[in-house]
Amino acid sequence: MHQLLNELEEQKVGSIKANEPLSNHTTIKIGGPADLFVEPASIEDLKRTLKQIKKYNVPWRTIGRGSNLLVSDKGIKGVVIKLGKGLDEFKVHDTEVVVGAGHSLIVLSTVLSRRGLKGLEFAGGIPGSLGGAVYMNAGAHGSEISNILTKALVLFLDGSMEWLSKEDLEFSYRTSILQKSRPGIVIGAQLQLENEEKKDIIKKMQGFKDYRRETQPWNLPCAGSIFRNPLPDYAGKLVEKAGLKGYKIGGAQISEMHGNFIVNTGNAKADDVFALIKYVKNTIYDLYQINLETEVEIIDSK
């Protein structure tokens, strides 16, 4: 690992840190160290990073803004690549937008709304990145990223890169083919939006933000929705119906505002959250014979 670190530093691929706590890079502020943490400054730097990783046969994975991520207290073995600055450019041509994977969804939706482009208003309160949104088909308020995406640039594990169409990505509820049979990294995407009066878009987006502020606990560190909705039921409603809102294990607590959120009250460990997830799943199954599946990505690799 030391030799890999030296070679990456020599090639100046971006920001490189050893034993970097992942708690610094997840919205729930939980997670042990990554052996090596790299934030490439460009797509070319990303390619060079992957080439060196392959040379030393080191395990690796990517993260975005850490909003849908729960990392073990033991951390992550190998290299963690953060897609952020350097992969966050975007270009607008009429109603078509090409944007890098590292771009903030909140910032992007705000900028596009001020340009009179509608379609991304639902993402105005999602604290994730464009790449993560495509990977998991993120959505809210009755819409999702697949509704406006036309294609995505994907880097596959063998180093090849390919534009995949919306159909190729096989989107469904909170998932895509990238989580299943064709694992890869979203590098960028092309979105197709529509023209609309700025004031109408901004008003709609503000309504969504107000709703989130009133119903979701973003005042405390959290990872977003923990469970997928077992449609036609809703995970948060089931948790509330079971009387679990406010239930606490260690420093992790089911939010008193929304049953599908677990918050870090200040000193939570990943094991506290794991135990709370297990408790909720068992309780909901015992009461309603419904198997809840996690929406948050759980990493426990060391």
Give 2-59 pLDDT, tens digit per residue: 899 999 999 999 999 999 999 999 999 999 999 999 999 999 999 899 999 999 999 9
CATH number, position 261: 3.90.78.10
Is residue 205 domain-shared with residue 97, that is, in the same domain?
yes
Instruction: Find out whether 128 and 116 touch, Cβ atoms under 8 Å.
Output: no
Give residues with Cβ within 8 angstroms of 44, minimum separation 6.
none
Integer Cα distance of 116 and 95 in angstroms: 9
In the beta sheet, which residues pair with residue 139? 144
The catalytic position among 20, 39, 121, 295 is 295
Is residue 42 domain-shared with residue 113, that is, in the same domain?
no
- Report field, pTM of the whole predicted structure over 0.85: yes
The catalytic position among 174, 182, 212, 228 is 174
Is residue 57 domain-shared with residue 116, that is, in the same domain?
no
The catalytic position among 23, 129, 225, 255 is 225
Task: Give yes or no: 174 in active site.
Answer: yes
To the nearest 10 degrees (0 to 180), the angle between helices 2-11 and 43-56 is 150
Number of structural domains found in the chain? 3
**Domain end marker among 23, 55, 82:** 82
Task: Give yes or no: 295 in active site.
Answer: yes
Task: Give yes or no: 225 in active site.
Answer: yes
Count CB neighbours of 103 within 10 A: 26
Integer Cα distance of 292 and 161 in angstroms: 35
Domain extent at residue 23: 2-82
pLDDT in tens, the chain (302 residues): 889 999 999 999 999 999 999 999 999 999 999 999 999 999 999 989 999 999 999 999 899 999 999 999 999 999 999 999 889 999 999 999 999 999 999 999 999 999 999 999 999 888 889 999 999 999 888 899 999 999 999 988 777 889 999 999 999 988 999 988 898 889 999 999 999 999 999 999 889 888 888 888 988 999 999 999 999 999 999 999 999 999 999 999 999 999 999 999 999 999 999 999 999 999 999 999 999 999 999 988 65
Is residue 128 domain-shared with residue 198, that is, in the same domain?
yes
